[in-house]
Structure 1
Amino acid sequence: MRISILGGSGFLGRRLAARLAADGRLGGRAISELTLFDLQPPDPPPAAGFPVQCLGGDIAQLPPAAIPDGTDVVFHLAAVVSAQAEADYELGRRVNLRGTDAVIDRCRRLAAPPRVVFTSSVASFSGGQGAVLADDARQVPANSYGAQKAAAELLLADASRRRFLDAVILRLPTIIVRPGRPNKAASSFVSAILREPLLGLHTDLPVAPDFALWVASPRRAVEWLLHAATMDSAVMGIDRSVNPPGMSVTVAAILHALDAVKPGASALVRRVHDPATEKIVATWPAAFEALRARTLGFAPHEPLVELVRAFIADDLDATRRERGLG
């Protein structure tokens, strides 16, 4: 089996590549080759038992080698994140929309249509704090990033209908806890209010403690990606998008889970209102029914305290080293 990960240098891309290298198989088939693509060549995962090709380039001008002939599965994770796409309209369109179009064009040229697993986002919806969205809720994005993701979903669904590729689209919740440093996503603070106190650092909270979000852990997100790559997509019909079963949690609940794991750590979180961030994230729905995902075999989420403990087990030491904190 030949696999490509577009956005291979990103947080989920690196974690997914490491998981594939460790397993050596996907859906019961041995992995024969892995290609990682990003703006700069990604680092290969350690100890892969198969060839790994690492390439850099512009996804809007996707080189054919990023999705080699004979590719079976493409994980399309490459994106310009929410606040950055809002601040730089041209860059967001180039990567999030034209980049997806380039992926479709490349898949059309393969001898057999590959499975394409695409990460969309809850930001493609609006509705705000009071919303609990059903699986058939309309996407009415209130930001450029969400609009670009929704448009890309339609392009991929149509390409799947025409059998240029076989798409499964995951509208991922906000993923926490992200390791490393804060990024330019509007939701970056949700990871920061856990990660920074666990590192012994102060961080700012731009929204109120009762603010609610739809979240998922990195471990669960990777499991969903792997399931999307191997599931029977025929039962989806022409609707290739899924709202995975995340968790609806308040900021207060997140801080409570933090204190349950490291008592007193939430004292390092300072309430500093940021209207620009709140304006973006306040449009996102705080909860989804996610019934269809369960019928399609996507696993439900683990408890919030386990999410915090998983970050400590998986990423805290590496994050501390990366940031020079000893």
Structure 2
Amino acid sequence: MNILIIGGGGVVGQKLAAKLADNGTLRGQPISKLTLADINDPASVAASFPVETTTCNIADADSVAQVVTADTDVIYLLAAIVSAHAEEDFDAGWQINMMGTMHVLERARALGTKPVVVFTSSIAVFGGEVPDPIIDHTFLNPQTSYGAQKAVGELLINDYSRKGFIDGRGFRLPTISVRPGKPNRAASSFMSSILREPLNGQSANCPVDGDFLHYYLSPRKCVENLIKGAEIPEDDLGQNRCMMMPGRMWSVRELIDAMTAVAGPEPAKLITWDAQPDIQAIVKGWRFDLRPEKAIKLGLEADGSFEDNIRYYLEDDKPAA
């Protein structure tokens, strides 16, 4: 089993690589090779099988052709520029998020090998004037360029699968929290930083009110679901290959309460509450009453509580003192 992770330098890509290395198998077969590709050469992971790292610019079809090869069995397509960045730089968003997806799928079609393609979409594909609750067959109505780019990607995954060019499956990720590392340019970045930085003894600002509701999943569960998602039999996916990944909805206040329950009262004292209208304009356009029934039936899971998300960060990612 030869696996390629495009976006292998990111938080989810690195954690996915490490988990695959621990497991040693995917889709019932031993992993023979793992390649991590990203715009900058990603860090490697220790494994009992060969692991290669390389650069890849998915906006460049020739670059994609160098990493998607005839012996690639499974492609994890994680690479993207994030929401606020895509909103600020319209051209880059479409070149990377939409054309990058097209380049990967076209390369697979040209090879004729029908690889499994696991595509990470976003709950940002929903929004606007659609009724609650959001179910698996609610029509896509994104209210940001990023959401529109991901919606196009979902349509491509479905069509290329229908034609037999790939065995595609797409998962609309909840906001992944608590993410390790530094804040990025995603509009949702604060949903980790208001927890991560205080847990690390640093201050952080919350740009929305405490009653702001959102849909969350831990990095640990996200990786587990991406592995399960690759292993779903093609016949079980049905005609729509894209679905919501399970998560749970909590308010910002509930996130902070969970942090306090696990880590005590001191971290919450490091949070400031300065409103940021530009961030509010993006995140308040996202829809939150999500019912991921299809993914749950297929065996994917949400976290049991946000206290679990906090514990996972402390166990997996908190820097040593």
Using the size of structure 2 for normalisation, the TM-score is: 0.96
SS of residue in 2 equivalent to 1:260: helix
Contact 2:169 2:230 (8 Å CA) reproduced: yes
2:268 is aligned with what amino acid? S
CA distance in 1 between partners of 2:18 and 2:55 (Å): 19
Contact 2:64 2:103 (8 Å CA) reproduced: no
Q: Does 1:268 align with 2:270?
A: yes
Q: Does 1:180 align with 2:181?
A: yes
Q: Does 1:13 align with 2:13?
A: yes
Q: Does 1:257 align with 2:233?
A: no
Contact 1:35 1:67 (8 Å CA) reproduced: no
Structure 1 residues 131 and 281: alpha-carbon distance in aligned structure 2, compared to 1, 3 A threshold: farther
After TM superposition, give the deviation of residue 253 of structure 1 in Å. 0.3
CA distance in 1 between partners of 2:244 and 2:78 (Å): 16
Q: Does 1:214 align with 2:239?
A: no
1:42 is aligned with what amino acid? P
Residues 141-150 or 107-116, more deviating: 107-116
1:285 is aligned with what amino acid? R
Mapping for residues 43-58 of structure 1, pairs under 5 Å: 43-46=43-46, 48-58=47-57
1:92 is aligned with what amino acid? G
After TM superposition, give the deviation of residue 232 of structure 1 in Å. 1.1
**Structure 1 counterpart of 2:280:** 278
CA distance in 2 between partners of 1:208 and 1:274 (Å): 10
SS of residue in 2 equivalent to 1:177: coil
1:274 is aligned with what amino acid? Q
CA distance in 1 between partners of 2:34 and 2:66 (Å): 11
2:55 is aligned with what amino acid? G
1:278 is aligned with what amino acid? Q
CA distance in 1 between partners of 2:132 and 2:196 (Å): 28
**Structure 2 counterpart of 1:171:** 172
SS of residue in 1 equivalent to 2:52: strand
SS of residue in 1 equivalent to 2:229: helix
2:84 is aligned with what amino acid? A
Q: How much is the aligned-residue C-alpha RMSD, in angstroms?
A: 1.5
Structure 1 residue runs of 5 or longer lacking an equivalent are: 321-325
**Structure 1 counterpart of 2:294:** 292
Mapping for residues 1-326 of structure 1, pairs under 5 Å: 1-46=1-46, 48-61=47-60, 62-127=63-128, 131-264=132-265, 265-317=267-319, 326=321
Contact 2:64 2:104 (8 Å CA) reproduced: no
CA distance in 2 between partners of 1:63 and 1:193 (Å): 36
After TM superposition, give the deviation of residue 69 of structure 1 in Å. 1.4
CA distance in 2 between partners of 1:309 and 1:35 (Å): 30
2:312 is aligned with what amino acid? A
Structure 1 residues 286 and 251: alpha-carbon distance in aligned structure 2, compared to 1, 3 A threshold: same
Structure 2 residue runs of 5 or longer lacking an equivalent are: none
CA distance in 2 between partners of 1:90 and 1:300 (Å): 34
Q: Sequence identity of aligned pairs in percent?
A: 41
The alignment of Structure 1 onto Structure 2 pairs a total of residues equal to 318
* Cα displacement string for residues 116-170 of structure 1 (whole angstroms, at most 9, x for unaligned residues): 0000001111159x94312211111110000000011101110110011011100
1:134 is aligned with what amino acid? I
2:54 is aligned with what amino acid? L
1:202 is aligned with what amino acid? S
SS of residue in 1 equivalent to 2:278: helix
CA distance in 2 between partners of 1:36 and 1:111 (Å): 22
After TM superposition, give the deviation of residue 79 of structure 1 in Å. 0.3
Structure 1 residues 131 and 270: alpha-carbon distance in aligned structure 2, compared to 1, 3 A threshold: farther
Contact 2:128 2:142 (8 Å CA) reproduced: no
* Cα displacement string for residues 31-62 of structure 1 (whole angstroms, at most 9, x for unaligned residues): 0011111111211112x111122111311223
Contact 1:70 1:111 (8 Å CA) reproduced: no
CA distance in 1 between partners of 2:303 and 2:261 (Å): 19
**Structure 2 counterpart of 1:323:** none
CA distance in 2 between partners of 1:246 and 1:63 (Å): 31
CA distance in 2 between partners of 1:164 and 1:307 (Å): 37
SS of residue in 1 equivalent to 2:59: helix
1:22 is aligned with what amino acid? D
CA distance in 2 between partners of 1:132 and 1:245 (Å): 14
After TM superposition, give the deviation of residue 237 of structure 1 in Å. 2.2
Residues 35-44 or 200-209, more deviating: 35-44
CA distance in 2 between partners of 1:307 and 1:190 (Å): 12
* Cα displacement string for residues 299-322 of structure 1 (whole angstroms, at most 9, x for unaligned residues): 2322110110110000002xx6xx
After TM superposition, give the deviation of residue 244 of structure 1 in Å. 1.6
1:51 is aligned with what amino acid? P
CA distance in 1 between partners of 2:289 and 2:202 (Å): 30
Contact 1:70 1:110 (8 Å CA) reproduced: no
